[in-house]
Structure 1
Amino acid sequence: MAEGISSFWGPVTSAEWCEKNYVYSSYIAEFFNTISNIPGIFLALAGLINAFRQRFEKRFSILHISNMILAIGSMLYHATLQHMQQQGDETPMVWEMLLYIYILYSPDWHYRSTMPTFLFFYGVAFAIVHALVRLRIGFKVHYVILCLLCVPRMYKYYIYTKDASAKRLAKLYLATIFMGSLCWLFDRLFCKNISRWYFNPEGHALWHVLMGFNSYFANTFLMFCRAQQLGWNPKVAHFMRFFPYVKIQKPKTQ
């Protein structure tokens, strides 16, 4: 803690990162790790508006909302460094991955009610266990396994997609998760060395920014693939020639 600045939230009870606490405000423990979630909120909001405007399936609206909830939970965690807020960040991470699993695998699932029912109760059970037991390494391993379960299906969608713009979204998704993971590992493994530098590159904050874009690229790619499955003639358009989004043309009802 910076000298002369007191903590509004009390002693730290959660995991800390390689950013000095309460340097800029007595109300925000890790300043950069907190505000770096803001881009993710706006990106999820943009995706939500597009999903509503073009009347995509509700699953995508819920997905964008879950991205916003996750970013807000992360802000509260890093602002307070309290154990309860850390759980409020980690539990939505798992819920979000369960939602991705549903979106990726449900089109080919023959028993439609079984998958959402199982994933719902799995998410509830995890939330209860995570509230009662302080998971550390176990949480990280569990989260990585959920992420890996998504990989085969994402790869299948990629190889079956012929549209170059949609493939570019998938490549941006891979690039951001790769760079973000490097920033996360660099911040976590070399914190002692970084702390002696005159300038801290704030690797965990960069992870937040990159993962905000990563989620947006993933969601947009999945929206394109789902629209293709439904015969909605999707195209990747760009707002102001830069910001990608999915534009669809639903067939007229006879």
Structure 2
Amino acid sequence: MALNHSANAFLAGQAFWGPVTATLDWCEANYQFSRYIAEAANTFSNLVTVGLAVYGAAQARSEKLPPRYLAGYAGFALVGIGSFIFHATLLFEAQLMDELPMIYVSSYCCAVLFDTTRGFSLKHSNAKELGIIFAMFNILFTWSYYMSRNPLYHQFVFAGLMFTTTFRTVYLLRNGEISKRLPPAERASIARLFSSGAATFAMGFLVWNLDNIFCSKITRWKNAIGWPAAFLLEGHSWWHILTALGTYLMLNGNTCDTLCIKDDHSNFTVVKTAGIPRIKRVDKTKTH
């Protein structure tokens, strides 16, 4: 997919993890700075993903949100951890630790959007049926992807899940029977939050593809300007950062959306702390 090369032949020859066995390699030079880290920028850029996921999970616990939302942030963190290990090692087993959680988490978040029954009890909703479908889908995908080992297959399924999530979000905000549970101002706020996340995610996807297409030219630019400034030209690292931010914003938008649909919109609001949006439970006992 990209220009695969090693900037330091000695470090590559002494690579702690052994030869590259992954079906993907990226434009960043392998083992440039350490025999323990195959791709330095692509590895450590995942700390943004993990950091945002931990922050979201901490806020979900602090505001006592239902466990399904905490599970979503835990899965988000798992993607970042798996990607960290993958780019550090470039082993196929580590590649699965990156790519499979991407499918699991996106399908989980998609399933949550299809549960619109009032309340969070499992008895009077379709949550159990959705759970069975979710489990069967991911078991089938895991088996089929392990057998095919075709990265384009993974990318196609992941893109399909992302589009389904987007279309379902738009449907929930526009469907008369469901959207009337939210006042217009609340719907507009959720739409802006999700849209900004989707746009940020799409920007990351664009940068990732440009990095693949123009890898040879970008590599010459990196060598010309030198490091550490050349880290700013690592396109796949920007994919990690932009998609982490986009995912966080979309998760917050859909969390607020489904909370308001299944509970009461007056119980929740979106606030910003240091410019980062988060869901806050409204304290109705406080006087203003």
TM over 0.5: yes
User: 2 CA distance for matches of 1:183 and 1:152?
Assistant: 23
- Asked if 1:216 corresponds to 2:248, the answer is yes
8 Å contact kept, 1:170–1:221: yes
What is the aligned partner in structure 1 of residue 51 from structure 2? 42
User: 2 CA distance for matches of 1:243 and 1:142?
Assistant: 30
Secondary structure class of the residue paired with 2:127:
coil
The amino acid that maps onto 1:132 is M
Residue 158 to residue 40, structure 1, CA distance change in 2 (3 Å): farther
User: 2 CA distance for matches of 1:98 and 1:41?
Assistant: 19
- Asked if 1:249 corresponds to 2:282, the answer is yes
| Structure 2: unaligned runs, 5 residues or longer | 1-5, 118-123
Please say which structure displays the higher CA radius of gyration.
2
Query: Residue 131 of structure 1: which of 127, 146, 153 is its match?
Result: 146
Moved more, 13-22 or 99-108: 99-108
The amino acid that maps onto 2:251 is N
- Asked if 1:143 corresponds to 2:175, the answer is no
User: 2 CA distance for matches of 1:175 and 1:151?
Assistant: 11
What is the aligned partner in structure 1 of residue 9 from structure 2? 3
Residue 239 (structure 1) shift = 1.3
Q: 1:213-244 CA distances to partner (integer Å, 9 max, x unpaired)? A: 1111011111211221210522111113x121
TM-score after normalising by structure 1: 0.91
- Asked if 1:174 corresponds to 2:198, the answer is yes
- Asked if 1:56 corresponds to 2:65, the answer is yes
Q: Number of paired residues?
A: 251
TM-score after normalising by structure 2: 0.81
Query: Residue 236 of structure 1: which of 270, 276, 286 is its match?
Result: 270
Query: Residue 203 of structure 1: which of 235, 239, 243 is its match?
Result: 235
8 Å contact kept, 1:232–1:249: no
The amino acid that maps onto 1:202 is E
Moved more, 228-237 or 158-167: 158-167
Q: 1:159-209 CA distances to partner (integer Å, 9 max, x unpaired)? A: 555235433322321221121011111111111221221255111000001
Residue 217 to residue 158, structure 1, CA distance change in 2 (3 Å): farther
User: 1 CA distance for matches of 2:155 and 2:250?
Assistant: 21
8 Å contact kept, 1:232–1:251: no
Residue 251 (structure 1) shift = 7.2
8 Å contact kept, 2:113–2:165: yes
* Alignment RMSD: 2.0
Moved more, 243-252 or 8-17: 243-252
User: 1 CA distance for matches of 2:45 and 2:131?
Assistant: 32
The amino acid that maps onto 2:53 is A
User: 2 CA distance for matches of 1:210 and 1:204?
Assistant: 10
What is the aligned partner in structure 1 of residue 120 from structure 2? none
User: 1 CA distance for matches of 2:234 and 2:170?
Assistant: 31
User: 2 CA distance for matches of 1:186 and 1:99?
Assistant: 29
Q: 1:14-73 CA distances to partner (integer Å, 9 max, x unpaired)? A: 110000011111100010000000011011111101111111111111100000000000
Tell me the percent identity. Answer: 27
| Structure 1: unaligned runs, 5 residues or longer | none
